[in-house]
A and B are shown apart, each in its own frame.
Chain A
Amino acid sequence: MTTVMLVDDSATMLMSLKSILTKAGYSVETAEHGKEALDKLGKGVKPNLIISDVNMPQMDGITFVREARKAPGMRFTPMLMLTTESEQTKRTEAKTAGATGWLVKPVAPDQLLGVIKQVLPGA
């Protein structure tokens, strides 16, 4: 089963996105900030896709993506930023860090699933 890792400090976001993805047939791993997500990757969790918020405590999403790219087996894993942030400079920063795409909240469930299909064509 395709596993998606959700990283967001909002419990509401985690809950709603998890339900949408689970219903669409994905297995979901969650983390409340970049550091927790990085710890999970270090413990062997191997998601097929990561969807991360940008502004989070302890470790922000862009730093997390930069660090996650260094984790074993994560070099080509799609990593999407899902954030309220719409500044172009932040997008560029995320792209440089290794993000695959940028989605501005709120994103409709069917749009989110469509993007996932685009970045995970075989899933």
Chain B
Amino acid sequence: MPGLLRRSGSFAAEADEPPVRGAVVADALRPVPEFCDVIDAHINDVIEQTGEAAEAIVRKMLTIDSMAEVMSGDVSQLAGTLGHVETELTRVAGANDQLVDRLVRYFMYRDEQIHRLVDEMRGLKQHVKEIEEVSRATNILALNAMIEAVRAGDKGEGFAVVADEVRKLADRSRQAANGIGSSIADLTSRLDHVLSDDSDFDRDNAVAETAADTAMTRRLAAIAGAQREMSEMVSTILHNALQAASQVEASSSALTSETTGAVGHVQFQDISRQMLEHVLAALADVRRQSDDLVAYSEGALPAEILRERMIQVDELRARHVMGRQRSTHAASTGEQADSDSAPMIELF
């Protein structure tokens, strides 16, 4: 190996075994650049992979975000619909209550009217009783008339009196008949009126207020109660559904906010990339110095150039751009870290 011999010769005066030491140092340094290249490739690989991963995370976050927004929109729409249904249900339930209440009061009113008519029809018995009395009296008179007629013979005065009484009874009988007839006509008309026209009910609600319960009104009240109970149940379900929709909406909103925050945290990749790029730059310095040493050991680089280009830890510190890099550097070298008092956000 002529090169090795030449190199050995150049150090012969400086060490006990200079040819061997110089050659060994050069041999040891020779693979360093390639070694650095491999490390360089690995670090670049890490930068590339974290970059791809960060982009994938952002895309996924955006997908989640858009899904959350869609969900929030859907739930908002559902909440709107439920709210509308709840309002409508309340309105319809109120209308139903009023309708049933009106029906109940109407039936109470009509029942009372019919009761009055029934009472009045009972009054017809008086007329019937009177006719019966008239009938009995007529019979007696008729009997007397027969007796008087027999006795009278030619004398008809008594008979005339009887005849007059009979006439009066007939008159009373006619009046009673008229009374019954007119009462029946009146009652029939009013009954028709009660059954066909409820305009009096609208004018006379106070009567209905005081009217007594009947089987019909009790049934109607029971229906109204069941209907009210059902409305309240549906209303409770709607209210709970609305609350659930509201909670989902709030959760979606929080999720959207969290995904935005997570997307913001992906800046770590850019920061890590820059930190790794600084490591790469430092590694390049090590590689260069290794090349220089090999060149020096081979006599291809003067000592002053080697010293001039020698890596310096202070230079490395000067290249740091982040406060964290400076802190790490100080912690590693045992120096006092410079306080980074500049604000993170500053408007000029």
Contacts and interface: CB of A to CB of B under 8 A. Distances in A.
Interface of A: 8, 10-13, 15-16, 19-20, 23, 55, 83-88, 90-91, 95, 99-109, 111-112, 115, 118-119
A84 B347 contact: no
7 contacts: A13-B267, A16-B267, A20-B263, A99-B348, A102-B348, A104-B345, A106-B271
Contact of B263 (A10, A55, A85, A109): A109
B346 A10 contact: no
A84 B342 contact: no
Nearest to A103: B345
Given A86-B322, A105-B270, A100 B260 contact: no
A16 B51 contact: no
Contact of A16 (B58, B321, B340, B348): B58
Given A86-B322, A101-B347, A103-B344, A19 B263 contact: yes
B345 A95 contact: no
A115 B345 contact: yes
Contacts of A102: 345-346, 348
Given A23-B260, A86-B321, A86-B342, A118 B267 contact: no
B35 interface: no
B321 A55 contact: yes
A119 B347 contact: yes
B342 A91 contact: yes
A12 B342 contact: no
Nearest to A88: B342
B321 A101 contact: no
Given A23-B65, A102-B348, A107-B345, A84 B264 contact: no
B263 A11 contact: no
B88 interface: no
A86 B267 contact: no
Interface string B267-302: 111110110000000000000000000000000000
A115 B348 CA distance: 12
B261 interface: yes
Contacts of A16: 58, 263-264, 266-267
Contacts of A115: 345, 347
Interface of B: 51, 54-55, 58-59, 61-62, 65, 260-261, 263-271, 273-274, 321-323, 340, 342, 344-348
A12 B58 contact: yes
A84 B337 CA distance: 18
Contacts of A13: 267, 270
Contacts of A103: 344-346
Contact of A12 (B269, B345, B347): B269
Of the candidates B51, B269, B347, the one having the most CB atoms from chain A within 10 angstroms of its own CB is B347
A1 to B, nearest CB: 19
A105 B346 contact: no
Contact of B270 (A12, A86, A87, A108): A12
A10 B273 contact: yes
A109 B260 contact: yes
**Top 3 A-B residue pairs of the complex, sorted by shortest distance between their CB atoms:** A106-B267, A101-B347, A10-B270
A85 B264 contact: no
B51 A11 contact: yes
A38 B61 CA distance: 31
Nearest to B320: A87
A72 to B, nearest CB: 23
B342 A11 contact: no
Nearest to B256: A23
A88 to B, nearest CB: 5
Contacts of B264: 16, 20, 106-109, 112
Given A10-B273, A99-B348, A111-B345, 11 more contacts: A12-B51, A12-B55, A20-B264, A55-B321, A86-B322, A86-B323, A86-B342, A91-B346, A104-B344, A105-B267, A112-B264
A15 B260 CA distance: 12
Given A16-B263, A86-B321, A105 B347 contact: no
